Amino acid sequence: MIRLARTSDGPRLRQIEEAAGEPFRELDMARIADDTPPTLETLAVYIDDGRCWVHTEDEVVSSYLIADVVDAYAHVEQVSVHPDYSGRRIGAALITQLDGWARDRGLAGLTLTTYRDVPWNAPYYNRLGFETVDEPTDGLGAIRRHEALNGLDEWPRVAMRRAFT
């Protein structure tokens, strides 16, 4: 089941983020695995604004997605699935949820930034219909520049878009 997140979900979302980072160690990306999850205050902004969804199974939160609006697109700021729940298409279901939210608001589609060569990143999003953006829009370009300043470009990253037709 997918629902809007509640403030009480915040600590669990942080746990999910930490657990979801662990597989990056196997790709020699320990710095990503060690990255601090969003603060409860940051998560509360998304939750209070109705831009954070969770997937639950037997009332346990397994995954989450937070979104922004960037250049008239719904931007996937973060989507994380706890490894115990991976391989069940939960991430795709959360993206579908965001897709409906974006369409209801008249947005042009979805965007995200991700690692180009990580199997559960860009290759996965390609399978969900996202395409690499060679020349990002102003807001998406600003996100990429911010990521580079924070050292995320140590590994190749891309901006991606799935436009509505």
Which pTM value belongs to this model?
A: 0.95
What pLDDT, in 10s, does the model give residues 9-22? 999 999 999 999 99
Q: Mean pLDDT in the chain? A: 96
Q: Please state, in angstroms and rounded to a whole number, the distance separating the CA atoms of residues 165 and 158.
A: 22
Q: Please state, in angstroms and rounded to a whole number, the distance separating the CA atoms of residues 85 and 151.
A: 29
CB atoms within 10 A of CB 29: 17
The candidate with the shortest Cα–Cα distance to 105, out of 55, 69, 138, 78, is 69
Q: How far is CA 119 from the centre of its chain?
A: 15
What pLDDT, in 10s, does the model give residues 78-119? 999 999 999 999 999 999 999 999 999 999 999 999 999 999
Q: Please state, in angstroms and rounded to a whole number, the distance separating the CA atoms of residues 92 and 122.
A: 13
Q: Which two tokens stand for residue 101?
A: 């939210």
pLDDT, residue 135, reads 87
The candidate with the shortest Cα–Cα distance to 79, out of 20, 161, 163, is 20
**Are the C-beta atoms of residues 38 and 12 closer than 8 Å to each other?**
no
Q: Please state, in angstroms and rounded to a whole number, the distance separating the CA atoms of residues 42 and 131.
A: 28
pLDDT, residue 165, reads 80
